[in-house]
Amino acid sequence: MKKLIFGLIAGVPVVIPFVAGATLNNINDVLTWIAFAINNFIYIIISLAVLVIIWGIFRYLIAGAADEESRKAGRNTIVWGIVGLTFIFSIWGIVNVILGSLPLNNNQPPAPQVTVPS
């Protein structure tokens, strides 16, 4: 069940441009679309890493108040959450440096205009 939910969450940034009618005419459009998908997906990953850190803090402070083994597990969760967050930001920075050095079309499509009836 967890794999199914993760697969659905991971697939959403991939499907959104096709649902919105995005056309990929040349390699620049494909690379721009991939960068757009990665940048949208990275926010989900960062949120999950922050939740892991918060879960580790909960395990360390609240669940492990009387049990040293639980405190140790909470501390390890916090450390690995911070390591994961550092790794995510490093990869995100490397990708953005590479994309910034290539001559790509980085224009995002305009946001749709919503009119509210009065």
Nearest of 89, 1, 8 to residue 43 by alpha carbon:
89
**Residue 53 belongs to a domain:** yes
In a domain, residue 107? The reply is no
Token output for 107: 């224009």
And the tokens for 68?
């040293």
pLDDT of residue 63: 77
4, 32, 54, 75, 114 from 9: Cα distances, Å: 9, 21, 21, 28, 26
Domains identified in the chain, total number: 1
pLDDT by residue for the chain (118 residues), tens only, comes to: 566 566 656 666 655 655 555 566 777 777 777 777 877 788 888 899 999 999 999 888 887 777 888 888 888 999 999 999 999 889 888 877 887 787 766 666 666 677 777 6
Pairwise CA distance, residues 47 & 50, whole Å: 5
**Run of H or E residues at 24:** none
The whole model's pTM is what?
A: 0.56
Q: Which pLDDT score is estimated for 81?
A: 92
Q: How far apart are the first and last CA of the chain?
A: 44
Domain limits at 55? 18-101
Provide the pLDDT for residue 96: 78
CA distance 38 to 11: 11
